[in-house]
Amino acid sequence: QYASTCNYAVWLRPQDGWLGKGVAASGAVATRLGLSGVPVAAETVALLTIIELVRTTGARVHLCRLSSAAGVALLRAAKAEGLPITADVSINSLHLTDVDIGFFNPAMRLTPPLRQGSDRDALRAALADGTIDALVSDHTPVEGDAKQLPFGEAEPGATGLELLLSLALKWGADSGLALPAALARVTSDPVRVLGDALGSLASSAGKLVVG
């Protein structure tokens, strides 16, 4: 309510703390590897709560790093209702799936966890049609020692900033988008999501500043 009164946007990552305690997305891969699972419900339960709060308070909310097809469906319905909600997706969820965990590769221990191919396809389509507003690097560097551990004990995270542009362009080409449309998801669209949060930077947006 406070955020709504002050016209602030609230940034939230939709994951239920209780359901999200696992280390890999629930599914055949996690079952085969014996890894504790994070069900899609960990995202959708949190999303349903957030959407109802937006509906009640009118506060603007930005959803960080959607990871599932079910989450995309809820977002699309909320936007169709006219609720002030925006969302982003990480390059990891856009290009990788749980199959990439391979044989307990700790580099693939990420938050949110990598999900199935159908989830990745839904995320790609939603980013292309504008249901998801922005593509992010989810740049979360992890010390080498924290990754050289069994999968379940490895710290989640990966570098992504250096890959953002090339993977955004690859997604755009794969999706048949024109270059300006693909670039918009990592440039002008995130600016639109930020809105007033840019503050004094807004006056120089889109300009080359010397100094």
165 neighbors 137 (Cβ within 8 angstroms): no
Alpha-carbon gap, residue 35 to 12, rounded angstroms: 26
Mean predicted lDDT score pLDDT of the chain:
92
Alpha-carbon gap, residue 72 to 118, rounded angstroms: 12
> What ranges do the domains of the chain cover?
1-201
Alpha-carbon gap, residue 26 to 40, rounded angstroms: 7
Task: State the pLDDT confidence band at 197, using cuts at 50, 70 and 90.
Answer: low
Alpha-carbon gap, residue 106 to 95, rounded angstroms: 17
Tell me which of 129, 138, 145, 189 is the catalytic residue. 138
In what helix (H) or strand (E) does residue 75 lie, and over which residues does it extend? helix 69-80
Question: Percent of the chain at pLDDT above 70?
Answer: 90
Task: Identify whether 138 is a catalytic site residue.
Answer: yes
CATH number of 1-201: 3.20.20.140
Query: Lowest-pLDDT range, 1-15, 56-70, 117-131, 151-165?
Result: 1-15
Give every CB contact of residue 155 below 8 A, 6+ residues apart in sequence: 109, 142, 143, 146, 147, 149
**What's the pLDDT tens digit per position in 53-90?**
999 999 999 999 999 999 999 999 999 999 999 999 99
Task: State the pLDDT confidence band at 200, using cuts at 50, 70 and 90.
Answer: very low
**124-159 burial: b if 16+ Cβ within 10 Å, else e:** bebbbeebbbbbbbbebebeeeebeeebeebebbbe
For range 154-173, the mean pLDDT: 96
Dihedral of the CA atoms 3, 83, 133, 206 (nearest 10)? Answer: -60
